[in-house]
A and B are shown apart, each in its own frame.
Chain A
Amino acid sequence: MNTKITLVELARLMAEATSTKIRVCELFLRELFATVSQALINGESVKVKGIGTFKVTAVKPRKSVNVTTGDAMDIKAYKKVTFTPDKSLAEALNQPFAQFETVFLNDDVSDEKLAEIDEQYPSFLCDEAEPLEPAPELEPEAFPEPEFIPQAAAEPAPAAPAADIKPEPKPEPKPEPKPEPIPEPKVEAQPEPEPAPAAVEEPAIEEPVGRKALAAFGAPIAADPESAREPVEKPVERPLEKQHAQTSSTPAAVSKPQPVEQDEEDDGFRRPAPRNTYTPTQEQISRQQSSRNRRKLLPWLVLAAVVLGVVCWLFTRGGGKAESDPTMAAVVDSDSIAAVAQSAVITDTVTSKIVLSTLSDKYYDSPWFWVYIYEENKAIISDPNNVTPGTAVVIPPAEKYGIDANDPASLKKAQRRSWEILTQGKR
């Protein structure tokens, strides 16, 4: 850093690189620069590959003023040498700042606007966190890393994922999606009491009722089996559904892998969950016949029961695995989420070549997000343009600031922020 390299030193470095003698390199250097000098003296411009172009330009004589005395003075004509570094050399030198581009600033960028953006910040964060979630596959064991920086994993990160990651039903679900579940209790309440007293034959009658009720209450519930299998979609729905579907079926299905017989009895209780498995024809037939002769129904019922049992078993095996113990799972899950948020906090070191924007490019795929690294490390970094090499910085998780290189809005926000930071000392 900032040392002067003499010709001898240069020769030594060259000799190391080419494994020739230092003496040879030194002679070469002297001869090279002598040749270039001579060419320049002759008024020739010289282009040296990999270094650059030296050009001689003549400067006309002109009159000027002596700054101290104020006297007029003449400046004689002279020649000067301009040096244009070779493109590859220039780029190599500018590598730390290579990602930057000249930006046009909008004249309407004002303090108010920036403040406005800051206000939107929290909600923006939440919105951003949802689509990013890779949640459903989350398994607590996958995130055991205990090393993190606790204060860095502040509230926004864990809170946002907590809402959507949940593969388990939370005992106290978030309040947002409340409107949907409201009709549900009714729907489920209807089918439930009926099949409970009734035995195997009953479902035929009771089923249409459940169906109608379902139709009345609309699509979200009709799609239940799917949504139940994908825990992310409707975290709140699940607890309710589970209460009736799981409580009755899970113990049986889980404890006994092939509980076909049991399911026949169970299936009345569980009807609402896998409703979709019934085809319309089955339904129609059962509806007509139920009024006349229930015995004829039996084969259908048995078939339906078997189908139901299989579906339920599959369903409980797939979905129920994670959900079998809601309270325990919820506890584990909140831990794992904290761990996720915190393990995502990475630290990296700034060097003479790796600056904040380089890090940003590395972790977020765009150099613009350096502002967030800076904000995260404000305590250690006084000047984002001049970070002491060797400084270890915390790389915040992308969700924390809504970082998404593919989202123009996110990029723009970062750019505005960087403009704000860079100019705050200058305005």
Chain B
Amino acid sequence: MHTVKKKDTKAMDNKKLVETVAANLGRTTDDVGKLLDALAGVLRTRCSEMDSVVVPSFGTFEPKKRNERVLRHPGSGRRMLVPPKVVLTFKLSHVLKSKLK
């Protein structure tokens, strides 16, 4: 995959995000911050139970289990046993995908 890494000139950090959302909702940043924390908490508990979260026109958060596998270390050439793990994947919705182009 040929990807071009842009220099991260434009970035929205958490603070800016919270401020924007607070402004649009007409609420305080405190409130929004609490709601965001709650969202993170819910995501954590539900995704830990392997439930996926679907946000329409945004994307899907889906925890996936990766099996353990044996790799060859590219540098040393030694075999490694990579342990199984659960990762959170995010799949962009088609709506947003088309808007990105």
Contact = CB atoms under 8 A, between A and B. Distances in A.
On whether the two chains bind one another, the answer is yes
Nearest to B13: A47
B12 A46 contact: yes
Given A45-B11, A57-B3, A93-B48, A10 B20 contact: no
A60 B88 CA distance: 26
Interface in B15-52: 17, 20-21, 24-25, 32, 34-44, 46-52
Contacts of A100: 68, 83-85
Interface in A1-49: 1-7, 10, 13-14, 17-18, 20, 24-25, 27-29, 31-33, 35-37, 39-49
A40 B32 contact: no
Contacts of A292: none
Contacts of B73: 104
A351 B80 CA distance: 28
A102 B4 CA distance: 30
Nearest to A24: B35
A50 B44 CA distance: 9
A97 B50 contact: no
A58 B3 contact: yes
B83 A10 contact: no
Given A14-B35, A45-B10, A46-B11, 18 more contacts: A5-B53, A7-B55, A10-B42, A10-B53, A31-B25, A39-B12, A44-B10, A45-B11, A48-B14, A81-B90, A81-B92, A81-B96, A81-B100, A83-B90, A89-B40, A93-B47, A104-B73, A107-B78
Contact of A2 (B2, B50, B55, B79): B50
Give the interface size class of chain A: 35 or more
**3 closest residue pairs by CB, A with B:** A50-B40, A100-B83, A83-B90
Contacts of B46: 5, 13
A408 to B, nearest CB: 18
Interface of A: 1-7, 10, 13-14, 17-18, 20, 24-25, 27-29, 31-33, 35-37, 39-52, 54, 56-60, 62, 78-81, 83, 85-86, 88-90, 92-97, 100-105, 107, 352-353, 385, 419, 422-423, 426
A338 B78 CA distance: 46
Contacts of A6: 54, 56
Interface in B63-99: 63, 67-68, 70, 73, 78-90, 92, 96, 99
Contact of A85 (B5, B49, B87, B99): B87
Contacts of A50: 36-37, 39-41, 43-44
A49 B21 contact: no
Contacts of A59: 1-4
B2 A36 contact: no
A102 B81 contact: yes
Contacts of B6: 43, 56-58
Contact of B81 (A5, A31, A103): A103
A46 B90 CA distance: 14
Contact of A7 (B47, B56, B63, B81): B56
Contact of B79 (A28, A41, A104): A104
Contacts of A422: 68, 81
Contacts of B88: 52, 83, 85, 89-90, 93
A261 B51 CA distance: 83
A380 to B, nearest CB: 20
A45 B11 CA distance: 5
Contacts of B83: 97, 100-103
B35 A2 contact: no
Nearest to A418: B81
